[in-house]
Amino acid sequence: MKKEKTETTTSPNEEVNRQTEQALETIDRSASVAVKSKDKTIYCLSIIGQVEGHYLLPDGQKATKYEQLIPLLVSVEENNDYDGLLVILNTMGGDVEAGLALAELIASMQKPTVTLVLGGGHSIGVPLAVAGKRSFIVPSATMTLHPVRISGTVIGAPQTYRYFHDMQERILTFIATHSKADKETLHSLMMTPDEIANDIGSILDGKEAVRVGLIDEVGGLQEALGCLKSMIQENKS
């Protein structure tokens, strides 16, 4: 005798629970989530801790892995289900090449993109903060600008210093291109000798970051989402 096929059905509550579990799993794995409303879906991505590059960071240290974010950003750009991208930053910086690669990828996206700095957007987090088409920062957040440096053993040769200089120029050019700040001002802030203990550079709060042109506007989640929704609506029309 042939066995009859039995169809399993799920209640609306079970379906909601399943979707919630999937969303929580996605958040836990990649610190991101897709938020769907009536007529639009916004993809929210957070960049926290250190941006991990070619080398693994020690255990117990918060990290954003760039090899996970690169394909994720490509997916957001190519997936028609997503209308825009919100990037939330609270990062101390990290690997220079990895951070700049992510910033270039976000800046080259065609979909509406908005960045929001919460807590901090330090070091290589600055290019990430300005990579969106519109950028926001909360008043209590800070951003640190300092010269490129490297830890560990280095070869004390002119070529090493030339590499540092060229990398710093690429970062300055990117920031100046994607913000209202000019390179001369940025370089001056990077080289300030009397603001950071045992280091050189500048720490800017939210209002100062807007004043020098690094960030477009002081605002929080409401303002960032409102701007992104407007950009999405304009993009659709």
Indicate which residue of 32, 46, 146, 179 is catalytic: 146
Does the annotation count 123 as an active-site position?
A: yes
For residues 49 and 75, the answer to whether their CB atoms sit within 8 Å is no
Torsion angle defined by CA atoms of residues 97, 102, 103 and 104, in that order, rounded to the nearest 10 degrees: 90
Indicate which residue of 46, 123, 135, 202 is catalytic: 123
CA distance 137 to 135: 7
Tokens 């270039």 locate to 104
Instruction: Report the interhelical angle of 66-78 vs 12-30 (nearest 10°).
Output: 130
Does the annotation count 146 as an active-site position?
A: yes
For residues 175 and 127, the answer to whether their CB atoms sit within 8 Å is yes
Structure tokens at 119: 């807590």
How would you class 76 by CB atoms within 10 Å of its CB: exposed for 0-12, middle for 13-18, buried for 19 or more? buried
Active site residues: 123, 146
